[in-house]
């Protein structure tokens, strides 16, 4: 097989076997096209399976250097390298083509950006006022319930939109919310009274409040699309002068940051967010330190 036929075989495997999303498949395809195109120029011939088996660490480093010359930052080059590693793992498992060279190349170092939270008043304002964006009572109640849930429980937007009516916290019931997060891991999240009230108000107007129905519905009666929620908050933030990082995920960051500022311990926040590693949650301590330094710079007379 040629290198590009290997690429097509890998992408088909991603679609049919791994059930990868269209965006994921597109990203892999783009990264591999870049790599194979570079090898074609680098070696003066289109690569085939045999030449892929002979790719060296120097070849891979030269490709990464060419990406850097094209202006790609370390995070983008790390993603490209990850795609190529997955491609070579696939070739080893399914086509018996072993080549350890790609695994031996160091990943470009990246710094994960700090979580960007909203100020407490701004986050609370989103939950209280975003319903005013629509003139329709049902959509107002739905949006208020959704964004109150995101901030009040620290959910990812995908987690919130995957809930069905049967999962919703019931009025008068103090029980927690069961959420299925990344890796199909279930976690328990306490539910504030204000969240219960907002969801109860939405359920009274829900057009199909059967147990198996999606909790949050779009205009056409299907499960609400994340892009619709993101657009709603984008319009709200522009009308209310909020920063561009005011997104649905920023409400999750705000949930964690405000809990930490209020005295919650990292281990508890880790459980509430559903982080597999405590190191992921520890990024919020850096956010709090950054906030304290900013306050110090503004307030100290000698700063």
Active site residue 156: yes
How many CA atoms lie within 13 Å of 34's alpha carbon, on the beta-carbon side? 23
Rounded Cα distance between 260 and 263, Å, is 5
User: According to DSSP H, which parts of the chain are helical?
Assistant: 3-16, 22-43, 49-52, 57-69, 74-95, 101-104, 120-129, 137-153, 157-161, 193-203, 226-240, 248-261, 266-273, 278-281, 283-299
With the CA atoms of 252, 258, 259 and 261 taken in that order, what torsion angle do they form, in degrees rounded to the nearest 10?
Answer: 150
Catalytic residue among 43, 182, 185, 210: 182
For residues 123-145, one letter each, b for 16 or more C-beta atoms within 10 angstroms of the residue's C-beta and e for the rest, the string is bbebbeebbeeeeeeebbbbbbb
Active site residue 249: yes
Ramachandran bin of 221, using left for φ above 0, alpha for ψ from -120 to 50, beta for the remaining angles: left
| Close Cβ partners of 45 (under 8 Å, ≥ 6 residues apart) | 51
- Residue 152: how many CB atoms within 10 A of its CB? 23
* Helix 137-153 and helix 226-240, axial crossing angle in degrees, nearest 10: 90
Catalytic residue among 142, 249, 253, 258: 249
Active site residue 95: no
Active site residue 236: no
Active site residue 275: yes
| Close Cβ partners of 223 (under 8 Å, ≥ 6 residues apart) | 161, 214, 216, 217
Catalytic residue among 77, 142, 237, 252: 252
Catalytic residue among 7, 77, 142, 156: 156
- Residue 154: how many CB atoms within 10 A of its CB? 22
Q: Specify the DSSP class assigned to residue 176.
A: P
Active site residue 284: yes
Catalytic residue among 28, 151, 236, 284: 284
Active site residues: 156, 182, 249, 252, 275, 284
């Amino acid at each position: 097989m040629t290198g590009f036929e290997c690429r097509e075989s890998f992408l088909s495997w991603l679609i049919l076997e791994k059930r990868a999303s269209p965006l994921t498949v597109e990203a892999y395809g783009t990264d591999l096209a870049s790599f194979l195109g570079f090898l074609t120029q680098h070696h003066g011939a289109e690569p085939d399976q045999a030449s892929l088996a002979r790719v060296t660490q120097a070849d891979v480093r030269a490709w990464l250097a060419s990406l850097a010359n094209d202006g790609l930052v370390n995070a983008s080059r790390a993603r490209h390298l990850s795609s190529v590693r997955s491609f070579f793992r696939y070739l080893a498992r399914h086509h018996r083509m072993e080549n350890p060279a790609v695994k031996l190349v160091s990943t470009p170092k990246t710094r994960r950006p700090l979580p960007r939270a909203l100020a407490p008043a701004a986050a609370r304002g989103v939950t209280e006022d975003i319903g005013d964006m629509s003139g329709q009572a049902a959509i107002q109640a739905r949006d208020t319930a959704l964004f109150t849930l995101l901030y009040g429980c620290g959910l990812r937007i995908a987690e919130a939109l995957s809930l069905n009516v049967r999962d919703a916290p019931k009025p008068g019931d103090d029980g927690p919310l069961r959420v299925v997060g990344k890796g199909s891991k279930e976690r328990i999240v306490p539910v504030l009274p204000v969240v219960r009230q907002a969801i109860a108000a939405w359920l009274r107007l829900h057009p199909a409040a059967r147990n198996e129905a999606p909790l949050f519905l779009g205009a056409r009666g299907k499960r609400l699309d994340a892009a619709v929620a993101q657009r709603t908050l984008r319009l709200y933030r522009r009308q209310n002068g909020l920063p561009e990082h005011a997104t649905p995920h920023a409400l999750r960051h705000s949930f964690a940051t405000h809990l930490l500022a209020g005295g919650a311990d990292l281990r508890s926040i880790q459980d509430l967010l559903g982080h597999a590693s405590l190191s992921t949650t520890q990024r919020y301590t850096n956010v709090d330190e950054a906030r304290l330094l900013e306050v110090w710079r503004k307030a100290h007379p000698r700063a």
